[in-house]
Amino acid sequence: MVGSAYIRAYTRNRVDASVAPETMKRSKSKAPGLKEGLIPQQSTQAPPPGWAELHLEIAEASTISLLLVDGYQPPALLIANNNSICEALQSSPEHVKLCDPYCGQAHDRATRENEITHYQCHAGLQCFAMPLAIDADRMLAVIGGRAFARGIDYRETVERFRSGDLQELASDEIFSNIIFADEADLDHAALRISKAAAGFKSATAKTLSPEQAAPVATLASGETESPQDSPFEARPSVVSVRGAESVTLADSIRRFAEQIDASDPAHTYRSIVARSADLVQAERGSLLLFDESENRLKMTAAQGIPAAISEVAPIAMGQGIAGVVMRENRPLVATVDEMGQLSLPERKYKTRSFISYPIAIGRRRFGVLNLADKIGGGAYDIRDLSIIELVAPQIALALERAEWQQRANQFQLMSLTDPLTGLHNRRYLEARLAEELSRSKRYNYPLSFMMIDIDDFKVYNDLNGHQAGDRALEITAQCFHAALRKIDVASRYGGEEFSILLPQTTLEEAGIIADRIRRKIMTTKFPHGASQPGGMVTASIGLSSFSPALNSAEAIVRAADRALYHAKSHGKNRAYAYQGIQGTGPDGPSSQ
């Protein structure tokens, strides 16, 4: 990796951002004892005092690259956790032009559009750029990310270094600091930067001009909305709250983030509604999440509403108050009368005042939070809206995490479960076997294992068809559920073959369980069981157990497989254990 120590030895080569990339000239000067011709990555100009520490903290917490830039780059004012691929490309006068349309022009795009912009560069890296108003004399921006979000992007870039257009840059240093992240990680970092910049601006407000300072919305005692104001309010950046009340509110907001963060998405949704309602003293609240595929809002969590969530119909984008709030992406504090709408009696509202707030990160919209029926019967005002504004980033982050957790749960379920039988699949079994074997070795616990095969399954399939065969596999899985304990792990190993992991179970105990499984299958009525050679569906079972001779996952599985073969070759519908081959029952094979 190209080190910042010798990069800082270069003098800064300022470049006007208005100059076209192809006409730009970059420094190729050489510092004594250092590599020749490399483009400096970090400027000798200082960042705003105090920002460097925040910059580093955010990069470490987010585990992505962060650059502070004040024009075309390289060089940057600050670099934290730089991706070694980016550093190699942008240090090279021959290859930096590949990055010019992306990170090179990122500062210009961010400051021109005055909002966060996302892009994927030529190397497949996900990045964002956002303006940063923390210096009265310079228009600064942050470039964040430089991360691979997909494995295929990383593989394609590696291939370019191995045999493509980047071969001449290839070295061990190229891959010394590769960063992987998803869109959520980048969004979280952007929110952290915004929050840090807001605090930084208030701390240095005297140095900012009125045009550069963020607008401050204050609500004086007794101040109300003017009648001509639109019910859609601009989002205030700062709320003025004085005295002990500000301490209480700050403490409430700090607790808010902790209370809504849960590993279970459903709990997160309920907590968002409950904690938001507490902040503005609402007796009624609901969270509607946006289903992008259907372009509709669906109620996900609620409190204080008379109907069950399942009975609440989805709301199309642009329809109703929540649909309009979602489409416009602007919060609304109003009364039903102001909106010219009637409140249906069956909804049993206590007051007509409400808040409807869109939850979003950048341009990504998650849904709408509704709050109504203020305790005491008062009307909601700008101050109440501003409180929700303060916690909206935490809500957005919690929804982002919940969405990813839900996807992860679904992906894990799909990747670790056999879709036909609902049992775990072989991938899960192998991971779990390794885990349980390690535990057995550490604590000297017993561990047993079974391989189970449906006898004459090919005959069943040929006579009755594959659909009937699939049904037979499903029924077999149900037999396992009936015969096994909660700690036992049943898996579909492949085809008509199953496996069962029995943690903390001796071979003798496993033999009893095996016989119970065998009898359960034999006595269960299968749709075409009478057509089988023995007039019923049966299974053969092979067992093995952890021992000094069988002390690896491969050895345990192989031994059970050999015992299964022995059971098959000795008449089927039997259970044998690998013990030089000895049967698990008193007569050798389990009793039939």
Q: How far apart are CA 266 and CA 382, in angstroms?
A: 30
**Smallest Cα–Cα separation from 395: which of 328, 336, 331?**
331
| Exposed e or buried b per residue across 415-445, where buried means at least 16 C-beta atoms within 10 angstroms of its C-beta | ebbbeebebbbeebbbebbeebbeebeeeee
In sequence order, what are the beta bridge partners of 545?
448
Phi, psi of 293 (to 5 degrees): -65, -30
Given 156, 233, 496, 508, which residue is catalytic? 496
E strand spans, 32-178: 65-69, 78-80, 117-120, 126-132, 140-147
Give the chain's length: 592
Q: How far apart are CA 186 and CA 579, in angstroms?
A: 56
Q: Tokens for 534, please give them.
A: 């023995």
Q: What is the DSSP string of 313-345?
A: PPEETTSHHHHHHHHHT--EEEETTTTT-PPPG
381, 225 Cβ separation under 8 angstroms: yes
Q: Helices H, strands E: what count in the chain?
A: 16, 18
Active site residue 496: yes
Give me the sheet containing 539-545, strands edge to edge.
424-425, 489-494, 497-503, 447-454, 539-545, 575-577, 582-583
Cα 308 to chain centroid distance, Å, stands at 29
465, 472 Cβ separation under 8 angstroms: no
Q: Which residues are catalytic?
A: 496
